[in-house]
Amino acid sequence: MLISRYSAPDFNPYGDTSPTEPNPDWAAPRAHGPLAATVSLPGSKSLTNRELVLSALADAPSRLRSPLHSRDTTLMVEALRSFGVSIEPAPASGRFGVDWLITPPDELLGSTTVDCGLAGTVMRFLPPVAALALGPIVFDGDEGARKRPMATTISSLVSLGVDITADGRTNLPFTVYGTGSVEGGEITIDASSSSQFVSGLLLAAARFEKGLRLVHEGSRLPSMPHIEMTIVALAARGVTVTSGTVTSGTVPSGTVASGTVETGTDESAAPAWSVEPGPIAGAEVSIEPDLSNAAPFLAAALVAGGSVTFTGWPESTTQVGARLIDFLPLYGATVTREGDRVTVTGGASIRGIDLDLSEGGELAPALVALAALADSPSTITGIGHIRHHETDRLAALATEINRLGGKVTELDDGLYIEPQPLHGGVWQTYLDHRMAHAGAIIGLAVDDVIVENIATTAKTLPEFAALWLQLVSGSSAEASSALGGGSGRAGHSVAIDAGGPTA
């Protein structure tokens, strides 16, 4: 049970998951020589939180190996525990913290409050789960979370017969009155502002009495790889999902058998999905490293020169961060891959680019930071939906780069970046972890960049500041040490490892 302004106990029996106090301003380290670093990072937030939800709804226990331990995943764990799900630590499978053993309850419990923090996966994945619980469940979160769009989650559940009280709001807070079951059926939604609206419904749909037939009707559907990630995760647990298109709100034209995915190809028709009712299998799942969190580290090679090698790159993946090996060469990098090692080597300069980033919006802050340091203008489009992420990322990136002397113009669905000589100053993060990443990238090339509240990176990578200092300084200090970094100079070969809790 978590603290809420609307429904709260006087204590929090599961521990405090509220945001930490902002850290003192953090001086982004400047690179003074080429890099020669090897980077290893913890698990994917997107995969961890999807697998937590599926494990909670499964018909048998599950084990998540090498899950991410961060604020977003902690919020998901504590919410599911408040639903009656048992989530216990198990000996670590890797270097990144304990595994989790998840045992679903006989029935999900309500009469609790979910603290969503600023996590879109919590606020959009758990309301359908709450509808399967018994009793009211209040959803609330950080102040910034109350600005994130939730109308599609609310309206879709209402269309499925779920009782929700939102007092006329289309965002947090609201209350889901679970009855222990959802009939399911066919609905049409507009997921133009976030693919999470689709994923949230698909994750729980096999537990609906009639399953779900879902059609998207809207101007766009961003971040399609995240929906593919959801479908693959469902299929791996024996759920039958059909993914394709429709022309009149009927069953999707693609086909799927349990464990495989084949998608329809008619781009003129509306995207649609069908999930058959049935059990969700328990599973042992190894969580891939977070490739989106690799973005600033790999981008650093272009800014400072030299090379950065990422270890643990999956052979195949649905993560949008995998597109970095396609995007970074556009800026002038050389990318090589050998087994699970991907190496990015910087070129003589950073080139400007024209890029449609509609499938990888979460990579935008790092890629825009690179564009601000390029030798020619860049246009990055297809990312209008990131105005609704942790902050309005288009406005935030333009404001912060311009504050340091840059010239960035907001477009309807992107940014036009005209590189200018930059100077030091305070880089505001807006409580957005990826804005902090962007400020750190800029700071590699610009003296006296001060990143406000670097602690916001705890959302998906609590060790970021320590890892970044190791990257730049050549320190071999453990990632779990204080954020002071070590001695040495860039150009030293360094292995960077994000450790985590081990007990």
Which amino acids are annotated catalytic?
362
CA 113 to chain centre: 23
Considering only CA atoms, which of 135, 138, 169, 141 is closest in space to residue 155? 169
The DSSP letter of residue 148 is S
In b/e form, how buried is each residue of 301-340, taking b as 16+ CB within 10 angstroms?
bbbbbbbbbbbbbeeebbbbbbbbbebbeebbbebeeeee
d(CA 340, CA 124): 32
Q: Which residues contact 10 (CB under 8 A, 6 or more apart)?
A: none
d(CA 486, CA 484): 7
Residues written for the chain:
503
CA 184 to chain centre: 27
d(CA 246, CA 378): 36
d(CA 438, CA 420): 16
333 neighbors 342 (Cβ within 8 angstroms): no
* Tally of CB atoms within 10 A around 218: 16
The DSSP letter of residue 95 is S
Question: In angstroms, what CA-CA distances link 123 with 11, 169, 228, 338, 503?
Answer: 22, 15, 20, 38, 28
213 neighbors 272 (Cβ within 8 angstroms): yes
d(CA 127, CA 138): 9
Residue found by looking up tokens 């042992």 in the block:
284
Residue found by looking up tokens 């090679």 in the block:
301
d(CA 84, CA 106): 9
Sheet containing strand 241-246, strands side by side: 185-189, 212-216, 270-275, 241-246
Considering only CA atoms, which of 135, 112, 114, 136 is closest in space to residue 125? 114
d(CA 49, CA 318): 15
Bridge pairing between strands 306-311 and 341-345: antiparallel
Sheet containing strand 493-497, strands side by side: 334-338, 341-345, 306-311, 35-40, 493-497
